[in-house]
Amino acid sequence: MRQSGKAIVARTQEQAGSDPARTSRPSRQASRRTADSEPGRSWLFEPKTAIWIALGAALVLGGGRKLIASWRARRAIARLAFPNVTPEEIEQVADHGRGSAWELLRVFSAPGTSPQQQAAAGRALARLWKNDELVAEEEQAIVRRGFTVTWKARRRYPRALQSEIPILVAYDVPFLGDDGRGVGPDNLEWSHRVLGARRAALEEFSAWKPGRGQVAFTIVPGDFEGHGPHRLVLQTRVRTAGLSEHWEIEPPHIPFNFEFDPILRVESMLTLPDAGRDELISRAIRLEPSIPGNGEPSRYMAVGDDWTLKNPPRLAVATPLPCDLAHSIAIELEGLPDRFPAGRVVLSEQGAPARDSSARRPQPARFELSAMAGLPQDAIERPGIRRMRLVLEADPACGWADPDIRSIWPGRIETGWVEVEIVRR
């Protein structure tokens, strides 16, 4: 049956009036509007408003700090482009992280950079390296560009020189420090060999060793034909140790050229003697007694096969001298006709500087004596107190072995007599 529209509407109204939930909804909305419209109430004091304010403040403050740090980093990095940037400013750039790596590499390798600026850039890069903010290729570039080799030898020697020539080679990355702030020398291991020395022991690479490297060897002048120039070449390998990145590279090979001069004489190292310098040197060189301190053990120096010197004296030299020293040492014991070899003394970089009476006098250079050789078996009969002195003779061949020697005093130097105690071994 069809129902009229008025009947349907009436039934719907009756059902709505019988539902309590629907009946109360308009009243709740009306009460909420009434509460919101009450005087003295503000949305600022709502709990959710405080939460939104706290989140916004954190966002603004955090973003502001990052923005300020970014501005400071850009300003510090841009300062590296100025030629008058100080080493302190260069080192502080490392505080801004990896973004400064390429600029520091540029400063480190730029041709117009001063040594102080290059060293500061190297220290800053070492800090970034330790913080693991560099890639392997950048770390290798630092080692290659900072690799330094120092040869301690002369470029020219007399052809008539017969004694072996000592040569010292030191190599490292000098800006790697031991302060722990950056990568240090112990984080790199080295292996080396020297070509051209005519020695089989130097032809093979050495064992790996951490820290700064050093090679000490000798060459025999007779092993080299002709006058030269002759070439020695240092080859090294380096690898990381104790770092997150492990790699191994071969730095550039560093050559050293030298030659033998047929005109240069071995004796040309000796200077001309004169009475004034002779007296000055005689007063400056003496034997100094050696007395052990409280609790220190006594020292002994061998004298032949059966005897020894108890607490042997030291050779003391008051510097500066008017000439360098490159002398053989001989011991003379009272009552024995011969002298007995006891090593050498080499003291370079002397000369005749003007003495400043107001300056503090430097401490004397002290040298230990070597074991006395060549003493006959029956030269000493019993232990006891004897007097001894040293006789120094110029040794120009020894002077040529040290590249810092410029002129050697040619006269004989004799020290005063001192008492020593000889005991049985």
**Residues 134, 139, 141: CA angle, nearest 5 degrees:** 125
Give DSSP secondary structure letters for 155-212: SEEETT--S-EEEEEEEE-TT--SSSSS--GGGEEEEEEEESSS-GGGTSPPPPEESS
- 388 pLDDT exceeds 70? yes
- Does the pLDDT of residue 9 top 50, yes or no? no
- 294 and 402, same domain (yes or no): yes
pLDDT digits (tens, 9 = 90+) for 172-207: 999 888 888 888 899 999 999 999 999 999 999 999
> Any idea which residue has 């022991």 for tokens?
201
pLDDT of 326 higher than 70: yes
For residue 24, give both structure tokens. Answer: 């109360």
Domain residues for the domain of 344 are 268-353+361-424
Tell whether 273 and 412 lie within a shared domain: yes
Domain presence at residue 37: no
pLDDT reported for residue 289: 86
Q: 58 or 321, which is more confident?
A: 321
For 335, half-sphere exposure in the C-beta direction (CA atoms, 13 angstrom radius) is: 7
Question: Per residue in 43-68, pLDDT tens?
Answer: 555 666 666 666 666 655 555 555 55
Phi, psi of 61 (to 5 degrees): -65, -45
Determine the pLDDT at residue 56.
61
9/19 Cα distance (integer angstroms): 16
Residue 361: per-residue pLDDT: 62
Pairing of strands 285-288, 413-414: unpaired
* Whether residue 200 sits in one domain with residue 164: yes
Residues 122 and 158 in one domain: no
pTM of the model: 0.70
Q: Do 108 and 121 touch, CB atoms closer than 8 A?
A: yes
Residue in the structure block whose two tokens are 């006789």: 391
Picking from 134, 159, 188, the residue at the C-terminal end of a domain is: 134
Query: Residue 87: CB partners within 8 Å, gap ≥ 6?
Result: 116, 117, 119, 120
Residue 341 has pLDDT above 60, yes or no: yes
Report pLDDT for 120: 83
Model pLDDT, residue 74: 58
My answer on whether 256 and 282 are in the same domain is no
Pair (287, 347) in one structural domain? yes
Domain count, the chain: 3
Average pLDDT, the chain: 81
pLDDT for residue 390 is more than 90:
yes
Q: What is the pLDDT of residues 275-295, one digit of tens each?
A: 888 888 989 999 988 887 777
Contact 89, 112 (CB under 8 A): no
Residue 260 belongs to a domain with what CATH number? Answer: 2.60.40
Residue 304 and residue 367 in one domain: yes
For residue range 129-138, list pLDDT tens digits in order.
Answer: 888 888 899 8
Residue 398 has pLDDT above 80, yes or no: yes
Could you tell me if 157 and 224 lie in one domain? yes
